[in-house]
């Protein structure tokens, strides 16, 4: 179970991501629940322009799975999407939901940016 306190916040802060006020339009809140999906972002300067990484955490209630997704886009270019992928931690593995498991999935999804200044 969730033995560590604020696993997601700690791991994302360690990677330089933040949940800014401008990211709130990507967060989804339900009528009876908050933070059904939460988004963290990080912006880089490259030779080709500004690149923004969005990492989202959500829950697929029908599949009973925890979803972590990665979206990388050059925001200075039309259709500048570099990465759009996700991974799930199924309900069967919720007992493994700890810092190591979340970090393993993040390492798989968040690939290094090759063209940074």
pLDDT tens digits, one per residue of 41-66? 999 898 889 999 999 988 887 777 88
Residue 15 and residue 33 in contact, taking contact as beta carbons nearer than 8 Å: no
**Residue bearing the bigger pLDDT, 104 or 117:** 104
pLDDT digits (tens, 9 = 90+) for 29-45: 666 666 578 889 999 89
Q: What percent of the chain has pLDDT over 90?
A: 26
pLDDT digits (tens, 9 = 90+) for 77-101: 888 899 999 998 877 556 666 778 8
- Whole-structure pTM value: 0.76
Which of 111, 52, 112, 113 has its CA nearest to residue 87?
111
């Amino acid at each position: 179970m969730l033995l560590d306190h604020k696993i997601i916040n700690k791991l994302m802060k360690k990677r330089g991501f933040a949940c800014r006020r401008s990211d709130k339009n990507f967060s989804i809140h339900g009528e009876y629940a908050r933070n059904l999906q939460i988004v963290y972002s990080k912006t880089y300067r490259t030779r080709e322009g500004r690149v923004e990484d969005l990492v989202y955490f959500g829950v697929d209630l029908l599949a009973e799975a925890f979803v972590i997704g990665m979206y990388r886009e050059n925001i200075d270019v039309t259709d500048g999407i570099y990465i759009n992928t996700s991974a799930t931690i199924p309900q069967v593995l919720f007992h493994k939901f700890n810092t190591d498991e979340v970090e393993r999935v993040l390492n798989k999804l968040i690939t290094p940016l090759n063209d940074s200044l």
